[in-house]
Amino acid sequence: LGLLNDLRNALAVGGQLELYYQPQYRLEDDRLAGLEALLRWRHPRDGMISPGDFIPLAERHGLMATLGDWVIDQALAQMAHWQRMEMPEATVWINISAMQLFQGDLETALASGLARHRVPARLLGLELTESVLLDERAGDIAPRLEKLRRQGHGIAIDDFGTGYSSLGYLKHLPVDKLKLDRAFIHALPGDRADAAIVCAVLAMARGLELEVIAEGVETEAQRDFLLAQGCAQVQGFFYARPRPAAQLEAQWREQA
Ligand code: G
Ligand code: G
Ligand code: MN
Ligand code: NA
């Protein structure tokens, strides 16, 4: 519980939480396609703590709505700053946890954040995992997703293929994009089962008119395979690791 109090304190005092950004690229021409925002916590005593460790804690103890609101506000403030500095325009994708859908008021947090920072909704994408989408506590999610899309947000299914769900929900849920989990990418191109799964997902996504982004691309051979199979976008250490906003800006300035 020490860590829980530390997290409450981090949210109250500021300066410890930070968003890193991992670039996503279009395979066709290597152009920037978007950025995934990933939360980091620099604990004053214990150093960097992974979101994999503190997000479950925040979810269990009712802190996730506050933490999620912080992420939304921080990402939008950063994008407004980039707009003022005339940095490249890129959609920022944030991860949405289950608790944000059924505890907090996600729609209000998004709408008020967009208005306050004057950022268009099309530049803020929402990543939800299958388990979040299908969590019954969230009620009927389809109309809520539909409303978020009407406002302009893109909706991506994160970690696609690793949940314990049937594919049937893809017929009913209004989403734009599948994020192919890195578990399927890791052993490409040699692993025949993974290659078959990836090709099948790409074919299905074309039929359903969904975009696909492959996660966890770490090697050139993986990239070449995905390009040959017609995957549109990639994200992974082969291209870029998640990095602080300042580092991204330095990189953009160098390129300009
Ligand atoms: O960045 P890293 O690989 O350490 O992330 C670990 C996990 O934490 C991933 O599943 C990622 O989706 C999740 N995560 C990272 N940032 C956020 C965030 O801002 N909100 C939520 N809900 N999850 C996040
Ligand atoms: O669950 P989600 O997809 O949101 O998790 C994103 C996490 O994946 C981040 O913590 C990020 O650091 C990590 N990640 C991003 N690219 C790669 C990669 O190429 N390889 C591995 N192993 N992890 C990655
Ligand atoms: Mn994600
Ligand atoms: Na993922």
Neighbours of 36 (CB within 10 A): 24
Ligand at shortest distance from the CA of 17: 1
Residue 9 lies in a domain: yes
Please give the residue range of the domain that contains residue 119: 2-250
Q: Is 51 left (phi over 0), alpha (psi -120 to 50) or beta?
A: alpha
CATH of the domain at 243: 3.20.20.450
Q: Return the residue whose CA atom lies nearest to atom 20 of ligand 1.
A: 95
- The answer to whether 128 and 155 are in contact (CB under 8 A) is yes
Ligand 2 within 6 A of 218 CB?
Answer: yes
**Rounded to the nearest whole angstrom, what is the distance from the C-alpha of residue 85 to the centroid of ligand 4?**
30
What confidence score (pLDDT) does residue 58 get? 95
Residue 212 lies in a domain: yes
**What does the alpha-carbon distance between residue 156 and residue 172 come to, in Å, rounded to a whole number?**
14
By mean pLDDT, which of 56-65, 133-142, 233-242 is the weakest? 133-142
pTM, entire model: 0.97
Residue 255 lies in a domain: no
Residue 256 lies in a domain: no
Q: What is the pLDDT of residues 156-203, one digit of tens each?
A: 999 999 987 788 889 989 999 999 999 999 999 999 999 999 999 999
ipTM over 0.95: yes
Residue 177 lies in a domain: yes
pLDDT confidence band for 139 (50 / 70 / 90): confident
Residue 46 lies in a domain: yes
Ligand 2 within 6 A of 23 CB?
Answer: no
What confidence score (pLDDT) does residue 102 get? 86
Q: What is the pLDDT of residues 194-249, one digit of tens each?
A: 999 999 999 999 999 999 999 999 999 999 999 999 999 999 999 999 999 999 99
Residue 103 lies in a domain: yes
- Residues 17-39 have a mean pLDDT of 97
Residue 63 lies in a domain: yes
Number of structural domains, the chain?
1
- Residues 131-159 have a mean pLDDT of 92
